[in-house]
Amino acid sequence: MSNPMRPPRAPRPSVSPSPLTRPRARQGPAPRSALPAAVLAGALLLTGCSDTADTESPGSTSAKVNPAAPTPSWAPVTGTPQVIPAVRDFRRADGRGWRPSRGARVVVPAGEKSNVADEAQLMARDLGGLTVVYGDQTVRPGDIEVKLTGNSGAGQANNVPVQGADDEAYTLTARGTRLTLTAPTDAGIFYGTRTVKQAVRAAGGLPEGTIEDRPDRPQRGMSLDNARKPYTQDWIEARLREIADLKLNQFQLHFSDDQGFRIQSDTHPEVVSADHLTKAQVRQIIKLARSLHISVVPELDSPGHLGAVLEHHPDLLLHRASGSVVPGAIDISNPEAAPLIDSLLKEMSELFTNPKGAPAYWHLGGDEYQALLSSTPATTYPQLTRAARQKYGPNGTLEDLATGWLNDRQKTVEGQGKNRIEAWNDGFFSSPAVSADKNRMVDYWTGKESGKRDPALFLREGRNVMNFNDEFLYYVLGEPNQFFYPTGQRIYENWTPRVIRGTQPVAVPSSMTGPDRIPGARFAIWSDRSQAQTQQQVAAGIRLPLAALAQKTWDPRTPALSWTDFKALANRV
């Protein structure tokens, strides 16, 4: 996604990478998942008992309260909950709040086979190994009760697909030394467990009162260019855990480009790079993502950025009238081009499975097709011109042909069950004869090269727009073409989901900029100069920008913390 023609711009401060510890698998306590030993030890020392009994905790209708159990004693947790992203609403109450203490348990009234059991088990491990108990148990002082609310709790499948931000809401109540976590779905329960984990890391516990929390934008995530720089399974899974703790819920995987095709293929093994993920590894990544309530968005880019595939199919490379080759571009007028790409799309669609009823994402790419950057396309690429006129009439254009190509690729993946289709903004054109499929979302990354349509135009014509603003959200290795490593501070202080292009909010009525039209944003890591940073340096460099993105997509209000305080909190949690 680099742009050789972008005009110069003033440098911005770069992130100073520092080493980052990689977490282990989710099956056991992990360095970045479990509490630091000092925090946990301090919490568990606070286990003196009082002789007073507590009244029933709010929301504890599914379990009994033991009035005879001793009440833990600890120093009151003060202030507001210390978490990233900040909670949307906190109603303070009088009391000591809640801290993890010796003998505290996680109580799951719905039982061991319920769809919140895995969230409860994860929280218990994160808090240093609390005991999890199931069914009609007594809720004792110091315990956490976890349960679903409303009709959605009955008979739900595990990791139930969410349909919007309301499904990700949760409530946490700390009262009388007990903690109650409720939500309409297990996704909401999961986000509540992230709040508990962070609050204990940052302040030792939660203050007395009730948190009502939900996200502003329903789609919040990270995109990774795994094609130009291969990343290991361990690295990817560590980032999944990291973004899950920040309540981000999407992971886009750009696995094919000019420099590499990084997933095992059985239909076309010749295109696969030596350093790649096996299908078994991809399935493990998908399984982990699903357990963390993260949707995976696969991207197989075409008709450009296909160099790794076309290296083994040179007869399909696009040629100019002069006979020179256009690197990475497939000749979409060649009748053998579509079957090759469709076979890869079908195979990869079968690999990237989706739970029944879940949004099934697929990214078509569509950006930087070099034929469309020519000042004289009709004469430079006469074969494309002939094909366009043959298919769309005497006035058919290259834009029509490229739009038709993506429409056909969309039909291919929709035939495999994908129903949330995306493409880059420079893959949408004002084509006179054919229009881009109306159900395709615009992923807006730049307005500086081909496809310079303002995001306002897409919103006005009724399309939804995902924010990938390359002024704020593009981490391009080696900083080529006037890119600079984005800083968390700049995102935190100057960006919102409405700032899609450049540095100013998109110029449309506010009714067009809500979560239903701009569903969110993804922070993109591009590997243009793959050796410029190690995997560890990338992990360190994206840490604060991801935290800032999480804050700005979760809560639409101006953040309460200064950047200095936010950064300090990010370092604690």
Q: Which of 119, 208, 368, 471 is catalytic?
A: 368
Sign of CA dihedral 328, 332, 333, 335: positive
| Residue 565 dihedral angles phi and psi, to the nearest 5° | -70, -40
Q: What tokens were used for 415?
A: 């035939």
Can you tell me the distance from the alpha carbon of 399 to that of 428, in angstroms, rounded to the nearest whole number? 9
The number of angstroms, rounded, from the C-alpha of 169 to the middle of its chain's C-alpha atoms is 17
The number of angstroms, rounded, from the C-alpha of 104 to the middle of its chain's C-alpha atoms is 33
Calculate the alpha carbon distances from 119 to 26, 132, 190, 405 in Å: 11, 11, 6, 43
Task: Evaluate whether 147 touches 106 at the Cβ level (below 8 Å).
Answer: no
Burial of 540 (0-12, 13-18, 19+ CB in 10 A): middle
Which of 409, 384, 277 has its CA nearest to residue 329?
A: 384
Can you tell me the distance from the alpha carbon of 556 to that of 547, in angstroms, rounded to the nearest whole number? 15
Helix ranges (H only) for 182-336 are: 186-203, 233-245, 279-291, 307-310
Can you tell me the distance from the alpha carbon of 302 to that of 446, in angstroms, rounded to the nearest whole number? 18
Can you tell me the distance from the alpha carbon of 563 to that of 567, in angstroms, rounded to the nearest whole number? 6
Residue that the structure tokens 């070099």 belong to:
370
Task: Evaluate whether 76 touches 205 at the Cβ level (below 8 Å).
Answer: no
Query: Cis ω on the peptide bond leading into residue 230 (within 30° of 0)?
Result: no
**355 residue type, one letter:** P
Q: Can you say whether residue 277 is alpha, beta or left, with left for phi > 0 and alpha for psi between -120 and 50 degrees? A: beta
Can you tell me the distance from the alpha carbon of 545 to that of 488, in angstroms, rounded to the nearest whole number? 4
Query: Cis ω on the peptide bond leading into residue 556 (within 30° of 0)?
Result: no
Q: Look up 368 and say whether it is catalytic.
A: yes
Can you tell me the distance from the alpha carbon of 6 to that of 476, in angstroms, rounded to the nearest whole number? 14
Beta strand 144-148 pairing with 48-50: unpaired
**220 residue type, one letter:** R
Can you tell me the distance from the alpha carbon of 141 to that of 178, in angstroms, rounded to the nearest whole number? 5
For 139-165, letters b (16+ CB in 10 Å) and e give bbbbbbbbbbbeeebeebeebbbbeeb
Task: Evaluate whether 399 touches 429 at the Cβ level (below 8 Å).
Answer: yes
To the nearest 10°, report the CA torsion of 310, 316, 322, 326: -30
Helix (H, G, I), strand (E, B) or coil at 373: helix
Burial of 456 (0-12, 13-18, 19+ CB in 10 A): middle
Q: Residue 55 has what DSSP assignment?
A: P
Residue positions annotated with a catalytic role: 368
